[in-house]
């Protein structure tokens, strides 16, 4: 078991290295193929009226004249051993893990990531609770009443939920519930949980529900299909033959088995969300990792992009490891080796 | 967002010493809130263009603003956005500033830190500003001329301050070994800017320059205390000189400003400083921002570039919402460069064929129509430029082009059956793409076949349309282009896009005007001392360019701005090309 | 009245394609300590019968009629909740294929404990002790250790024993075993059958063994019911069925019975064709398309449903042929063939 975890962690590290190299490569090498010079790269980070001299200075400061390998080495060194940042009037120590400083704002990336993680986590955890409860609940009921009005209504809604983009549902819900009825917080509202838990929940309610709706739909469909399959299994008949109450048959025997594939999906979904609920955060103006990722990419701010990509990848890797470990707990037939 | 023109080149061009009419005018302070005529304005479209809407002197409350993106920097040396110059005046003061308030006067400059406008030396190469007494930083330290000179000197370092304009880098006579106040702290920069005493700032220019009062209204002259200067990190806490100071700066998330109790209103007749507190939310979803502005959750859209397409569809059909809008014409032209380097456009008649064949209405529609896009442009200078005259050398029925005249021009240039060429545009700008398609359709009517090529905006001028070698090699005949000026005079608008002597191998903004007669007129206009005569000469430059047929004007850009609910003292300022942020109050 | 008395049991399923008459007028009875074998090909309705007795026929869509009397109590008209309380306690079932019939995520012990605690208000410790005891009684070595094993960790035979332990955990008075040995190899089959016989004696329960294999019931059953297309075609004491069978279908089953002295693939009297669809049961005698003697009935085979009639002392047969004709065929044509070799 321990060796398994260690092996997986080593694999994860290797994957992160590959991801960082690919990201770096996309950033530097692809423009080079297209013929971009170091100055062309640097011209992204200056005001529009910058003179060629300014662009040259910036290219020099950002190290664009060095070979990509050297630049990558510098990045890795910063991560492992920290780096120094010259802000003109002095030099700042950037302790490891140093993801560097934004090309645009000059802000260190790592504190930004730490600062934004709780927002994304708050969004993800609340939404996850809602979508898991709602999705599984609706899915189970639909499966047990297959073909009923409830089943058709909920599966129709689920289809809509999967199909509607969040930037659409997000805007609609804001206009109706926040600006129209005044029930929920306006876009851009966020309070840290530790500052005021009630306000935290109030501000996040609409994003939670909107995001959960998207996922709940998929989970409902998956749960329904899983339940329909497991409820036809022989061991369900056995459970009934033992005289078990129907509710226990459904929950203890049916749902337990139907949930296993959902666990996998949930792990990956949740990991991805922690890496940044891009659309939800952008739509509702939540200062989380997803919004950060979008801004970083829009600004072509490599240190920020690297930071957010690696953090997101890390969470996905951790999530998949946790799922695999949980899988072994949930399904005794699975043995990790 | 105001276009940041490459007017760095402006500084290097020879200029006779002239005091612009607006620059030399009054320095009489005026309370803008009182300048509104006749009580409360009724909510109606465009009222804030000509008067102060909802005038008020009531202090207090919180002004809630939002920004769909983020500042390039809050550091006065490191920012170059129109909204930033506008908003910055809440926490910085510069030597001069645009006169606050509505109407054409808003495009004139008045003193701010300075007691009066700049005093040029007789050779026009030295400008002296006297600053007021009783000025203080937010920490109570007195502001002296040294702090202004230091601020100007620190803005020189473009490696540290990559975003700010570089006018002063080019204009002032910097010592050869000066690399900025951080890298060469011991080099004396008094050959460029110096404080001769506590209240006198002197600028030494390489060459005479008339529009210095326009230059020093830019934030490079906002004082910075040397002992609080933290270089690239100063943006995290700028020391205020204006009526507000930063309470919090959370990069990418929000800013909060509160009253600066060290600011003395007696020294500042221009800023009513009505709200107690100003909150700005950053990176707000642009569509949500419009919705919040409509709903009244926020008072102000900081970038002030106008409503998003989604909100336009909601606002325009609704009379009540439409009454809350202002639709000003900006100092900005969208146009098509008709490039004489590419055959057969080297022949003026072939260029004229393009002028005649273009469908101006279709072009305007491509750019968003008369409200969101702009007015059909018939010449180069936009109306808000001082002394601009509207004229039309290529008048066609209903502005839809004249096929016959175009064919005559084609015959005259020896291409009676038309010709083929390439048109470039910025592929990430849907309006330019639509423009290119409209041009393709219109020109096909006379046999001119266009091949359309889109390029990324970030390298459009450095690698493609603004790169002489690329244009020649790839036969680019037409290029979609846009230009706005940093200050509203003929030089400010025209020089960078029509003076052929600014053309470099790459990174050009003048893509097509290579006419010695135009250059001659530019020199003449720059040397003209009399403001009225000079303005007329700039109109002549405009006419010459139109005769040269190397620029096809498309629209003079307009923005559709929405007045926030509960906002008082709101007026559109010509100088800022936006609502005047220092006037605003809340109910 | 017997301990279990089933009278005219009908279980029909309406489907989109038509009415599936899985069980169509079946009557039988079993006493305590006795064993009834129900034999038929798959699809003959034997499994549905057993599920019907337990009240487990699928969903609310099944139409059930007739009477099921268990120890003097009628079950068809009883509430679902009442039948549930009897399930597992008074009547229990051993399913075929214990790998799929036991929940893969719970230990064997957990599943037995659960079965016991449904009907006995005891602590988990007590139930666990009981489970270990039961596993020991069905012949699982080291039951205290194996109680915590998962079904997939058991061999096929062990699983079947565990399944039996689970079914017997509440000391049921009626035990139904559905193909209890189908998934097992021959030696294990014999062990399981021995075990069931022993346990039945020990618990004195009524046992119903459902199988397609006459060989299985041969060793266990007191009475045998042969089912075809939802109906009983022959019923009698085990000796009647093995030594004096009168229905051509029973002859076919006897002929296809695997025997240790024959190659398993060798079939002496194979039944041609396949079992009929339960939606479109052939008119007349349901067996007529496959019956080699159908033409001897003067056309009645395809038009008239034969009655289940007593041929002698409790031996019932559903056939149009006369008793004499059937006996003649058995004595002269069938029996000699079965006895060759």
Q: Is the pLDDT of residue C262 over 60?
A: no
- Chain segment B99-146, per-residue pLDDT in tens: 999 988 888 899 999 999 999 888 878 999 999 999 999 999 999 999
List chains touching A (3+ CB pairs under 8 A).
Answer: B, C
Average pLDDT over residues B89-96: 96
Distance, in angstroms, between A69 CA and closest chain C CA?
51
Q: How many residues does chain C have?
A: 341
**Which of B219, B232, B496 is most worth mutating to test chain A (most A CB atoms within 10 A of its CB)?**
B232
Answer yes or no: are the C-beta atoms of B8 and B158 closer than 8 Å: no
- Written as six digits, the tokens of C131 are 């489970």
Q: C166, A242: Cβ pair inside 8 Å?
A: yes
Q: Which is more confident, B72 or B550?
A: B550
For residue range B268-309, what is the model confidence (pLDDT) as tens digits?
999 999 999 999 999 998 889 999 999 999 999 998 888 888
pLDDT at B69 over 90: no
pLDDT of amino acid B37: 41
- Using a CB-CB cut-off of 8 Å, the residues of chain A touching B164 are 47
Enumerate the H helices of chain C as residue ranges: 46-54, 80-86, 98-101, 108-119, 124-137, 143-146, 156-168, 186-203, 214-220, 238-243, 248-255, 323-329, 335-339
Mean pLDDT of C134-141: 88
Predicted confidence pLDDT, tens digits, chain A (337 residues): 788 888 888 988 898 899 889 988 888 888 777 777 888 788 778 776 677 788 888 888 888 888 888 989 988 898 888 888 888 878 888 888 888 888 888 888 999 999 999 999 999 999 999 999 999 999 888 888 888 888 888 888 888 877 788 888 888 888 888 888 888 888 888 888 888 889 899 989 999 998 888 888 889 889 999 998 888 888 998 999 988 888 889 888 998 888 888 888 898 889 888 887 888 888 888 899 999 998 888 888 888 999 999 988 888 888 888 888 888 888 888 776 6
Question: Which residue reads 């009645």 in tokens?
Answer: C300
Residues in A touching C119 (Cβ below 8 Å): 243
Token code pair at residue A311? 């953090």
Average pLDDT over residues C150-167: 88
Question: How far is the alpha carbon of A261 from chain C, nearest alpha carbon, in Å?
Answer: 14
Q: pLDDT, tens digit, for every residue of B353-388?
A: 999 999 999 999 999 899 889 999 999 999 988 889
Residue C266: per-residue pLDDT: 52
Taking phi first (over 0 means left), then psi (-120 to 50 degrees means alpha), and beta for anything else, what does residue B180 get? Answer: left
Task: State how far the Cα of B66 lies from the Cα of C136, in Å rounded to an integer.
Answer: 76
C76-93: pLDDT as tens digits:
888 888 999 999 889 999
pLDDT of residue B19: 29
Q: How far is A113 from chain B (nearest CA, A)?
A: 12
Instruction: Choose the most confident range, by mean pLDDT, from A84-88, A143-147, B238-242, C330-334.
Output: B238-242
Q: CA of A1: how far to CAs of A5, A8, A318, C150, C152, in Å?
A: 6, 11, 16, 19, 20
Tens digits of residue pLDDT in B527-549: 776 778 888 999 999 999 999 99
Task: Report the helix count and the strand count for chain C, using DSSP H and E.
Answer: 13, 12
d(CA C207, CA C191): 17
Are C166 and C87 a contacting pair, CB within 8 Å? no
Would you tell me how many other CB atoms lie within 10 Å of the CB of residue C283?
Answer: 12
Q: Two tokens at A304?
A: 């920020």
With CA atoms as reference, report the closest residue to B218 among B580, B578, B575.
Answer: B575
Q: Which of B159, B161, B295 to mutate to test the interface with A (most CBs of A within 10 A)?
A: B159
pLDDT at C339: 75
Residue B552 confidence (pLDDT) above 90: yes
- Whole-number pLDDT of residue A337: 60
Average pLDDT of chain C, as a whole number? 86
| Chosen from A145, A234, A241 to mutate, greatest number of chain C CBs within 10 A | A241
Peptide bond into A186 cis (omega under 30): no
For residue A242, the chain C residues in CB contact (below 8 A) are 87-88, 92, 114-115, 118, 166
Residue matched to tokens 């009630």: A198
Query: pLDDT, tens digit, for every residue of B24-65?
Result: 333 333 333 333 344 445 678 889 999 999 999 999 999 999
Task: Name the band, by pLDDT with cuts 50, 70 and 90, for residue B408.
Answer: very high
Q: How far A241 CA sits from the closest chain C CA (Å)? A: 6
> What's the pLDDT score for residue B6?
34
* pLDDT tens profile B424-479: 999 888 899 999 999 999 999 999 999 999 988 767 887 889 888 899 999 999 99
What is the model's pLDDT at position B28? 36
Percent of chain B with pLDDT over 90: 67
Interface test with C, best of A242, A261, A335 (most C CBs within 10 A): A242
Q: Which residues of A touch B250 (CB under 8 A)?
A: 287
Confidence of residue B181 (pLDDT cuts 50, 70, 90): very high
Q: Indicate yes or no: CB of A240 within 8 angstroms of CB of C87.
A: yes
pLDDT at B398 over 80: yes
Count of A-B CB contacts under 8 Å: 142
- Interface A–C counts its CB contacts (< 8 A) at 67
Query: Which tokens is A183 given?
Result: 């029930």
**Other C-beta atoms within 10 Å of B390: how many?**
14
- pLDDT of C277 higher than 90: no
Helices (H), chain A: 2-33, 38-42, 52-61, 68-81, 109-144, 149-163, 166-173, 197-230, 234-241, 246-248, 256-274, 278-284, 289-298, 302-330
Across the interface, whether the CB atoms of A50 and B166 are under 8 A apart is answered yes
Tell me which residue in A234, A243, A332 faces C150 most closely, judged by beta carbons.
A332
Q: C53 in helix, strand or coil?
A: helix
Cα–Cα separations (whole angstroms), residue A63 to A73, A300, B161, B458, C174: 12, 16, 17, 20, 85
Mean pLDDT of chain B: 88
Distance between CA atoms of residues B124 and B171, nearest Å? 12
Alpha carbon separation from C277 to C8, C251, C283, C291 (Å, rounded): 21, 21, 12, 16
B1, pLDDT greater than 50: no
Q: Residues of C with CB below 8 A from A244's CB?
A: 88, 114, 118
Tally the C-alpha atoms within 13 A of residue C26's C-alpha that lie toward its C-beta.
Answer: 33
Chain A residue whose CA is closest to B283: A285
């Amino acid at each position: 078991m321990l060796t398994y975890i260690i092996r997986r962690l080593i694999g994860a590290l290797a994957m992160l290295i590959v991801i960082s190299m690919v990201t770096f490569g996309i950033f530097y090498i692809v423009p080079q193929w297209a013929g971009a010079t170091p100055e062309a790269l640097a011209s992204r980070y200056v005001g529009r009226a910058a003179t060629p001299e300014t662009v040259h200075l910036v290219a020099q400061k950002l190290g664009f004249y060095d070979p990509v390998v050297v630049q990558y080495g510098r990045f890795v060194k910063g991560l492992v051993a920290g780096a120094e940042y010259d802000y003109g009037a002095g030099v700042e120590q950037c302790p490891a893990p140093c993801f560097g400083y934004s090309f645009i704002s000059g802000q260190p990336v790592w504190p930004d990531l730490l600062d934004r993680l709780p927002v994304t986590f708050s969004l993800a955890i609340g939404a996850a609770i809602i979508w898991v409860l709602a999705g599984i609940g609706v899915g189970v009921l639909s499966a047990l009443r297959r073909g009923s009005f409830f089943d058709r209504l909920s599966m129709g809604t689920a289809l809509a939920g999967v199909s509607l983009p969040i930037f659409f549902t997000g805007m609609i819900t804001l206009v109706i519930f926040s600006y129209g009825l005044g029930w929920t917080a306006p876009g851009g509202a966020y309070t840290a949980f530790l500052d005021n838990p009630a306000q935290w929940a109030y501000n996040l309610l609409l994003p939670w529900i909107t995001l959960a709706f998207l996922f709940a739909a998929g989970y409902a469909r998956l749960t329904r299909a899983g339940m329909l399959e497991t409820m036809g299994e022989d061991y369900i008949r056995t459970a009934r033959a033992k005289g078990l109450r129907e509710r226990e048959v459904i929950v203890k025997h049916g749902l337990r088995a139907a949930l296993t594939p959902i666990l996998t999906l949930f792990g990956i979904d949740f990991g991805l969300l922690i890496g940044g609920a891009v659309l939800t955060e952008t739509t509702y103006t939540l200062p989380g990792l997803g919004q950060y990722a979008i801004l970083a990419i829009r600004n072509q701010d490599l240190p920020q992009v690297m930071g957010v990509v690696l953090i997101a990848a890390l969470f996905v890797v951790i999530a998949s490891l946790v799922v695999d470990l949980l899988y072994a707990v949930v399904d005794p037939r699975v043995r990790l080796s | 967002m105001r276009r940041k023109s490459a007017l760095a080149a402006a500084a290097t061009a020879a200029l006779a010493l002239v005091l612009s009419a607006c620059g030399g005018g009054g320095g009489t302070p005026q309370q803008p809130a009182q300048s509104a005529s006749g009580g409360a304005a009724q909510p109606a479209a465009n009222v804030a263009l000509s008067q102060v809407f909802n005038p008020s002197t009531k202090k207090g409350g919180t002004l809630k603003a939002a920004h769909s993106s983020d500042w390039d920097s809050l550091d006065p040396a490191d920012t170059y956005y129109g909204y930033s110059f506008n908003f910055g005046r809440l926490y910085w003061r510069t030597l001069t500033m645009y006169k606050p308030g509505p109407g054409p006067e808003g495009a004139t400059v008045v003193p701010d830190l300075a007691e009066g406008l700049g005093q040029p030396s007789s050779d026009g190469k030295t400008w002296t500003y006297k600053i007021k007494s009783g000025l203080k930083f937010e920490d109570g330290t007195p502001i002296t001329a040294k702090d202004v000179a230091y601020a100007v000197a620190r803005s020189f370092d473009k490696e540290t301050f990559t975003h700010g304009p570089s006018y002063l880098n080019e204009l002032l006579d910097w010592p050869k070994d000066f690399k900025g106040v951080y890298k060469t702290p011991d080099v004396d920069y008094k050959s460029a800017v110096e404080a001769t005493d506590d209240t006198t700032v002197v600028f030494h220019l390489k060459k005479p320059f008339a529009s210095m009062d326009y230059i020093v209204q830019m934030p490079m002259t906002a004082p910075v205390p040397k002992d609080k200067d933290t270089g690239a990190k100063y943006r995290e806490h700028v020391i205020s000189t204006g009526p507000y100071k930063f309470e919090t700066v959370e990069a990418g998330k929000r800013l909060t400003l509160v009253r600066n109790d060290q600011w003395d209103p007696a020294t500042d007749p221009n800023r009513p400083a009505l709200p107690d507190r100003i909150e700005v939310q950053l990176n707000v979803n642009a569509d949500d921002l419009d919705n919040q502005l409509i709903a009244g959750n926020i008072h102000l859209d900081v970038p002030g570039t106008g409503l998003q397409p989604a909100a336009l569809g909601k606002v325009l059909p609704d009379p009540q919402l439409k009454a809350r809008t202002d639709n000003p014409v900006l100092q900005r032209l969208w146009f098509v460069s008709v490039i004489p380097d590419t055959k057969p456009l080297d022949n003026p008649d072939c260029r004229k064929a393009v002028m005649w064949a273009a469908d101006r209405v279709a072009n305007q529609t491509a750019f968003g129509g008369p409200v969101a896009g702009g007015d059909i442009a018939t010449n180069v200078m936009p109306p808000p430029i001082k002394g601009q005259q509207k004229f039309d050398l290529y008048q066609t029925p209903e502005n839809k082009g004249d096929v016959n005249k175009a064919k005559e021009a084609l015959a005259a240039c020896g291409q009676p059956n038309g010709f083929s060429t390439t048109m470039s545009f910025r592929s990430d700008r849907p309006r330019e793409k639509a423009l290119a398609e409209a041009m393709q359709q219109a020109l096909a009517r006379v046999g001119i076949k266009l091949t359309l090529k889109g390029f990324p905006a970030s390298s459009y001028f450095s690698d493609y349309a603004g790169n002489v070698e690329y244009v020649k090699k790839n036969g680019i005949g037409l290029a979609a282009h846009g230009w706005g000026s940093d200050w509203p005079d003929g030089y400010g608008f025209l020089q960078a896009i029509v003076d052929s002597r600014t053309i470099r191998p790459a990174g050009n903004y003048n893509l097509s005007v290579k006419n010695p007669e135009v250059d001659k007129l530019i020199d003449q206009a720059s040397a003209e001392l009399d403001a009225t005569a000079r303005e007329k000469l700039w109109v002549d430059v405009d006419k010459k360019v139109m005769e040269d047929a190397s620029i096809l004007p498309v629209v003079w850009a307009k923005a559709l701005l929405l007045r926030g609910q509960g906002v008082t003292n709101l007026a559109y300022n010509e100088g800022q090309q936006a609502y005047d942020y220092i006037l605003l109050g809340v109910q | 009245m017997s301990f279990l008395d089933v009278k005219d049991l009908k279980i029909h399923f309406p489907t989109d394609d038509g009415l599936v008459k899985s069980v169509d007028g079946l009557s039988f009875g079993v006493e305590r300590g006795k064993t009834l074998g129900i034999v038929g090909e798959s699809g003959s309705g034997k499994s549905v019968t057993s599920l019907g007795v337990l009240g487990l026929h699928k969903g609310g869509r099944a139409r059930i009629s007739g009477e099921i009397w268990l120890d003097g109590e009628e079950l068809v008209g009883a509430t679902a909740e009442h039948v549930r309380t009897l399930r597992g306690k008074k009547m229990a079932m051993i399913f075929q294929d214990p790998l799929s019939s036991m929940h893969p995520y719970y230990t064997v012990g957990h599943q037995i404990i659960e079965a016991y605690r449904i009907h006995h208000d005891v602590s988990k410790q007590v139930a666990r002790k009981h489970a270990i005891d039961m596993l020991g009684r069905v012949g699982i070595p080291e039951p205290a250790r194996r109680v915590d094993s998962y079904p997939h960790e058991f061999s096929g035979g062990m699983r079947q024993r565990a399944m039996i332990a689970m079914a017997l955990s509440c000391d049921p008075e009626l035990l139904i075993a559905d193909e209890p040995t189908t998934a097992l190899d021959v030696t294990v089959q014999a062990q399981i059958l021995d075990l069931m016989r022993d346990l039945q004696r020990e618990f004195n329960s009524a046992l119903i063994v459902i199988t397609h294999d006459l060989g299985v019931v041969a060793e266990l059953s007191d009475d045998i019911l042969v089912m075809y297309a939802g109906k009983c075609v022959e019923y009698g004491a085990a000796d009647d069925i093995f030594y004096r069978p009168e229905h051509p279908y029973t002859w076919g089953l006897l002929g296809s019975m695997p025997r240790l002295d024959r190659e398993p693939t060798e079939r002496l009297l194979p039944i041609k064709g396949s079992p009929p669809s339960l939606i479109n049961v052939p008119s007349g005698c349901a067996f007529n398309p496959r019956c080699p003697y159908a033409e001897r009935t003067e056309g009645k085979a395809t038009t008239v449903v034969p009655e289940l009639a007593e041929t002698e002392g409790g031996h019932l047969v559903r056939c149009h042929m006369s008793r004499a004709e059937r006996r003649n065929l058995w004595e002269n044509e069938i029996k000699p063939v079965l006895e060759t070799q």
